[in-house]
A and B are shown apart, each in its own frame.
Chain A
Amino acid sequence: MVFFNNMGLLAVTPGMVFMWIIGLILIYLAITRQYEPLLLLPIGFGIILTNLPLSMLMEPGEGLLWRFYHYGIEWEVIPPLIFLGLGALTDFSALLSQPRLIFLGAAAQVGVYVTFFIAYSMGFSLQEAATIGIIGGADGPTTIYLAAKLAPQLLGATAVAAYSYMALVPLIMPPIMKLLTTDAERKIRMKKGRKVSAREKLYFPIIAAMVIILLVPASAPLIAMFMMGNLFRESKVVERLNETAQNSLMNIVTIFLGVSIGATMNAEVFLRKEVIFIFFLGLFAFMISTASGILLAKFMNLFTSNKINPLVGAAGVSAVPMAARVVQKVGAAADKRNYLLMFAMGPNIAGVIGTVIAAGIFISILK
Chain B
Amino acid sequence: MQEAVQIFVNGISGVFIGLAVLYVVIRINKLLAGKEPDKKE
A residues bordering B, Cβ < 8 Å? 95-96, 99-100, 102-103, 105-106, 109-110, 112-113, 116-117, 120-121, 126, 129-130, 197-200, 202-204, 207-208, 211-212, 215-216, 350, 353-354, 357-358, 361-362, 365-366
User: Is A110 a contact of B12 with CB atoms below 8 Å?
Assistant: yes
Binary contact track B20-41/A, C-beta < 8 Å → 1, others 0 = 1111011111101111100000
Residues of B bordering A, CB below 8 Å: 1, 3-5, 7-8, 10-12, 14-23, 25-30, 32-36
User: CA separation between A32 and B11, bound complex, in Å?
Assistant: 39
Pairwise interchain contact B23-A116, C-beta atoms closer than 8 A: no
**Set of chain B residues within 8 Å of A120, measured between Cβ atoms:** 1, 4
A34, B5: Cα distance in complex, Å: 40
Query: CB within 8 A of B29: which of A100, A103, A207?
Result: A207
CB neighbours (8 Å) of A207 from chain B are 25, 28-29, 32
Closest to A194 in B: B30
Chain B, interface SS category: helix
| Chain B residues positioned under 8 Å from A103 (CB to CB) | 16, 19-20, 23
Q: List 29 A-B contacts (CB under 8 A).
A: A96-B26, A99-B26, A102-B19, A102-B26, A103-B20, A103-B23, A105-B19, A106-B19, A112-B11, A113-B7, A113-B11, A116-B7, A117-B8, A120-B4, A121-B1, A126-B3, A126-B7, A200-B30, A207-B28, A207-B29, A208-B25, A350-B19, A350-B22, A353-B19, A358-B11, A358-B15, A361-B7, A361-B14, A361-B15
Tell which of A106, A117, A200, A204 touches B15, judged by Cβ atoms closer than 8 Å: A106
Cα separation A130 to B21 with both chains bound (whole Å): 24
CA A216 – CA B3 in complex, angstroms? 19
Partner of B33, one of A100, A197, A208, A211: A197
A102, B22: Cβ atoms closer than 8 Å: yes
* Contact pick for B27, options A99, A105, A112, A197, CB 8 Å: A99
The smallest beta-carbon distance between A60 and chain B, in angstroms, is 32
How many A-B contacts at CB < 8 Å in the complex?
107
Q: Which residues of A contact B11 (CB under 8 A)?
A: 109, 112-113, 116, 358, 361-362
Known contacts A99-B27, A106-B19, A365 near B7 by CB under 8 Å:
yes
Asked if A212 contacts B18 (CB within 8 A), the reply is yes
Contact B26 A95 (CB under 8 A): yes
Interface centre among A102, A129, A362, A366 (most CB of B within 10 A): A102
Contacts of B12 in A (CB 8 A): 109-110, 113
Give Cα distance in the complex from A86 to B4, angstroms: 32
List B contacts of A99 (CB < 8 A).
Answer: 23, 26-27
Pair B23/A357 contact, Cβ less than 8 Å: no
Nearest-CB residue, chain B, relative to A211: B25
- A110: min CB distance to chain B, Å: 6
A357-B19 CB under 8 A given contacts A112-B11, A113-B11, A362-B11: yes
B14 touching A354, Cβ below 8 Å: no
In contact, A365 and B10 (Cβ under 8 angstroms): yes
Q: Which residues of A contact B17 (CB under 8 A)?
A: 215
B7: A residues at CB distance < 8 A: 113, 116, 126, 130, 361-362, 365-366
The minimal Cβ–Cβ distance linking A143 to chain B, given in whole angstroms, is 16
CA of A117 to CA of B7 in the docked complex: distance in angstroms? 9
Question: Given contacts A103-B19, A103-B23, is CB(A116)–CB(B3) below 8 Å?
Answer: no
**Cβ-defined partner of A199 (8 Å) among B19, B26, B33:** B33
**Is the CB–CB distance between A129 and B23 below 8 Å?**
no
Given A102-B22, A129-B4, A215-B21, the answer on whether A200 and B14 have CB atoms closer than 8 Å is: no
Inter-chain CA distance A29–B3, complex, in Å, is: 40
Contact between chains at B8 and A113 (CB < 8 Å):
yes
